[in-house]
Amino acid sequence: MLSLLAEQLEAARDRLEPAVFDYYSAGSGQEVTVGEAEAAWGSFRLRPRVLHDVSTVDLNVELLGARVSSPFVVAPMAFHALAHPDGECETFAGAGRAGALGVLSTRSSRRIEEVAAAATAPWWFQAYGMRDRALTHALVRRAADAGAGAIVLTVDTPYVGRKGKVSGVRIAVPDDQFLVNLAQHLVPGTVAREAAEQDPSMTPDYIAELAEVSGLPVLVKGVLRGDEAVRCLDAGAAGVVVSNHGGRQLDRALPSALALADVVTAVAGRAPVLVDGGIRTGTDALLALALGADAVLVGRPLLWALAAGGAEAVAAALDALAEDLRHVLAVAGAARIAELDSSMVIRL
């Protein structure tokens, strides 16, 4: 873990209520998957190149039309207000300063429109296929209207993963936070939290439905297999995010670091492939990019940054990651991300 990120983590541990810290940290089941994400990147070694011109290093990335300053993307995470009073507004202000793409969670604790107003860089909106389909439709339309560039459909949550370690310290997110984006669309008398659950009967045709309703490209998040990625693309997905939901859903799922190559091979360049899970240094990102990812999402570290120091700290974390990536890219002999390839990566 980059030293700045480690410091922000410690600061967050100090500042956050233990139950909140645990809520963010927790993984499902026996916490195998949450615990091995970072180490999975660490199981690779680099085969650097030499004597290539790296006098300038270019980290710019274009993702479905969004031009951003680096391949680091803010992962969608729920309820930023637990970490900072201004919640996602602060996070996305920080991402903007760093020129980084952010993905706003359906379960944000600030309204889509407020966050959109605070964001100064491109952003996407994360959606669930909720039991109340009209609710999702309403949300993605609002996101599109507010300027979202794409929809990221989370598909690995047909039921919420059981968090073993924190089962006794459930945090109670107040309704006004939980419903901030939803309240206005609820049919009177419905139980909001049930309506907002993922519909476990969701199938791939939901991808095209969401694209049509939103008018935006739809990426599918939570894919760990090449065949499933292709199934999503065939159903209209504009990209996939290789992810095990930060180890919060299926415990003992394959680490995303070890699932990435299979997905990249199967997708075969048809669409962008992003990845999250355990990216904590520029080298982790370099490995992901060399294995074929187009961008990498960073989750918990940015919540720790948010808790530790608001937008400024979020920007600092993203800048530090980008700067570290820039450095290792050059030392590994690549001046641009496009110069990376899988021959630079070997598993020990």
Residues that bind a second copy (CB under 8 A): 1, 3, 29-30, 32, 42, 44-55, 155-159, 161-162, 164, 167, 199-204, 206-207, 220, 222-225, 227-228, 231-232, 235, 249-255, 258-259, 281, 283, 327-328, 330-333, 343, 346, 348
Burial of 257 per CB tally in 10 Å (0-12, 13-18, 19+): buried
What is the nearest approach in angstroms of a second copy to the Cβ of residue 55?
4
Residue 131 marked in a binding site: no
Question: What type of residue is 145?
Answer: D
Longest dimension (CA), the chain: 68
- Is the Cα dihedral 216, 196, 79, 28 positive or negative? negative
Is 105 known to sit in a ligand binding site? yes
DSSP 4-57: HHHHHHHHHHHHS-HHHHHHHH--STTSHHHHHHHHHHHTEEE----S---SS-
Nearer to a second copy, 147 or 204 (CB): 204
Least Å distance, CB 20 to a second copy, is 22
Determine whether the annotation assigns residue 299 to a binding site.
yes
Q: Are strands 295-298 and 273-276 parallel, antiparallel or unpaired?
A: parallel
Is 70 marked within a binding site? Answer: no
| Structure tokens given for 65 | 């039309």
CB-CB contact of 214 with 235 (8 Å): no
Contact, 304 vs 8, CB < 8 A? yes
When the beta carbons of 188 and 201 are compared against a second copy, the nearer one is 201
**Can you say whether residue 45 is alpha, beta or left, with left for phi > 0 and alpha for psi between -120 and 50 degrees?**
beta
84 is catalytic: no
Q: Of the two residues 102 and 129, which places its CB atom closer to a second copy in the complex?
A: 129
Closest CA to 237 of 257, 253, 223, 254: 223
In angstroms, give the least distance from the CB of 88 to a second copy: 26
- In angstroms, give the least distance from the CB of 199 to a second copy: 8
Shortest reach from residue 156's CB to a second copy, in Å:
6
Which of the following is catalytic: 84, 137, 185, 245? 245
Residue 280 is labelled as binding a ligand = yes
The length of the chain in residues reads: 348
Looking at the Cβ atoms of 119 and 220, the one nearer to a second copy is 220
Q: Is 23 annotated as a binding residue?
A: yes
Catalytic positions, please? Answer: 245
Annotated binding site for glyoxylate: 23, 128, 245, 248
Annotated binding site for FMN: 76-78, 105, 126, 154, 221, 243, 276-280, 299-300
Annotated binding site: 23, 76-78, 105, 126, 128, 154, 221, 243, 245, 248, 276-280, 299-300
